[in-house]
Amino acid sequence: MVSAPPPIPVDVHAATVAALLPDPAAVLSEPLAAEWTETIACADALGRVVAVAVASPEDLPAFDNSAMDGYAVRAAEIAAATTAAPVTLPVSADIPAGAAPGTLPPGTAARIMTGAPLPAGADTVVEVEVTDGGTDLVRIHAAREPGRFVRPTGSDLAIGSELLSVGTPLDAAQIGALAAVGIDRVTVRRRPRVLVCSTGSELTDHPQPGSGQIRDSNSPMLAAAVQQAGSEVVRRRWVADDVPEFLGLLDDALADRPVDLIVTSGGVSAGAYEVVKDALGSRGVEFTKVAMQPGMPQGAGTYAGVPVVCLPGNPVSTLTSFEVFLRPALRRLAGLPHPERRRFSARLGEDLTSPDGKRQLRRGRLDRLAGTVRPWGPAGSGFLSWFAGADCLIDLPEDLVAASAGDPVEVWDLWA
């Protein structure tokens, strides 16, 4: 009898999965650039990543303007102003924001509002707080050097200078900056397109499951995880343990719209009715055991030229496997920053055990002020509600079989 090969290390399978997808560093270069970029409205660009550097088409600000409510004057004409001996000037104009500035006559002041254009001839602004606030005549109680409280043309951004570099994630500030210089469309990295399919004859989406049936939680859970990883879910559904039906679903979905990745859950173990393994094991997908808990049975390969990652079916195993193998790979492909979860050391709040020879990723809860972490819920792979209450994963290495309260452990922060 031939013995089964030992489980492979987690990092080895992670590298296999990453190698299935296009090189994240290459997708913005020819010949992949045309396929992996798209130009979209800035209003729809939140969370996307800049694919082509953006240069400003104009100066920002586009004109010299006031940084304060006050009076636009010539600095030389108020050089002698003090509290004891104020300088009095006639007010020749009011300049609210949005007004045409005109020219400041010599020997006068223009009352000006924040953001309003500086009139020609003026070279400084006196804030209203050091004046008497006059509307016909204004008494100015302090001198101001040229350029004081003036925002010069192009001082924020000069025309032709780079506004956003390649790889910049588009958040509120970046979208605001694009709008400020009149840019309403931006070229971004295309989101990876993913087909999500969960398997199992026991699954249903009916509000009232029948005898022996359970609601499909994996496909909506994986769809949400895929979207959080910066990708687009092209199609999501479940299928029974029937090989022709499963292959038909894949073929129909691929004919309907091209995808970059197929993600399945369930049907990958060693028992009977393992539909994914039965369907894809002879069609380009290799199934293996990975030295981790939960999530030992895994599959990876291609089907019809499309990368396929096959995850186990127990919900906790499914989501943990996604965190380990797919989330970092998809975020890198999408160009998103911080593809890995934030990792740090925390002290155990209680004793725990771990299976010898397997890397355990245990759900946990952090006491962020104390710097401690406790296991959250049972270690089994069917306790999804406990995963929903966890805020971290406790990463226990393969050679660790027991740890005591107070020992340092590595933690993956699920909230970061």
Q: What is the mean pLDDT of residues 245-256?
A: 94
pLDDT at 52: 96
Name the fold adopted by 65-151. Answer: Molybdopterin biosynthesis moeA protein; domain 3 (2.170.190)
The closest alpha carbon to 40, from 232, 185, 192, belongs to 185
Torsion of Cα atoms, 61 then 64 then 69 then 70, to 10°: 170
Q: Give the span between the Cα atoms of 311 and 8, in whole angstroms.
A: 15
DSSP secondary structure string, 200-231? -TTEE--SS--TT-EE--HHHHHHHHHHHTT-
Residues forming CATH 2.170.190.11 domain(s) in the chain: 65-151
Burial group, residue 349, by CB count within 10 angstroms (0-12, 13-18, 19+): middle
Please determine, for residue 1, whether its predicted confidence score (pLDDT) is greater than 70. no
Multiple choice CATH, 39-60+155-189, 3.30.930.10, 3.90.105.10, 3.40.50.150, 3.30.1330.10: 3.90.105.10
Tell me the CATH class for 343-413. Answer: mainly beta
pLDDT at 411: 98
Q: Give the span between the Cα atoms of 281 and 287, in whole angstroms.
A: 7
Which residues on adjacent β-strands are paired with residue 309? 263, 300
Q: Please enumerate in sequence order all residues whose Cβ is within 8 A of that of 230, keeping only pairs 6 or more positions apart, or say none.
A: 47, 49, 191, 192, 330, 331, 334, 335, 336
Q: What is the mean pLDDT of residues 259-285?
A: 93
Token pair, residue 3, equals: 């013995």
Residue with tokens 């087909």: 195
Please determine, for residue 32, whether its predicted confidence score (pLDDT) is greater than 90. no
Architecture of domain 10-21+192-334: 3-Layer(aba) Sandwich (3.40)
Residues forming CATH 3.40.980.10 domain(s) in the chain: 10-21+192-334
| Residues 240, 246, 248: CA angle, nearest 5 degrees | 130
Residue 307: band (very low, low, confident or very high) from pLDDT cuts 50, 70, 90: very high
Look up residue 324 and give its DSSP letter.
I
The closest alpha carbon to 314, from 360, 380, 262, 238, belongs to 380
Please determine, for residue 207, whether its predicted confidence score (pLDDT) is greater than 80. no
Size of the chain, expressed as the number of residues it contains: 416
Q: Give the span between the Cα atoms of 54 and 48, in whole angstroms.
A: 14
Burial group, residue 329, by CB count within 10 angstroms (0-12, 13-18, 19+): buried
Give the tens place of pLDDT for each residue, 58-110.
Answer: 999 999 999 999 999 999 999 999 999 999 999 999 999 999 989 999 999 99
Give the tens place of pLDDT for each residue, 165-185.
Answer: 999 999 999 999 999 999 999
pLDDT at 236: 87
Name the pTM for this structure. 0.90
Residues forming CATH 3.90.105.10 domain(s) in the chain: 39-60+155-189
Residues forming CATH 2.40.340.10 domain(s) in the chain: 343-413
Q: Give the span between the Cα atoms of 287 and 301, in whole angstroms.
A: 9
Q: What is the mean pLDDT of residues 331-345?
A: 96
Q: Are 30 and 51 in contact (CB under 8 A)?
A: no
CB atoms within 10 A of CB 99: 14
pLDDT at 2: 57
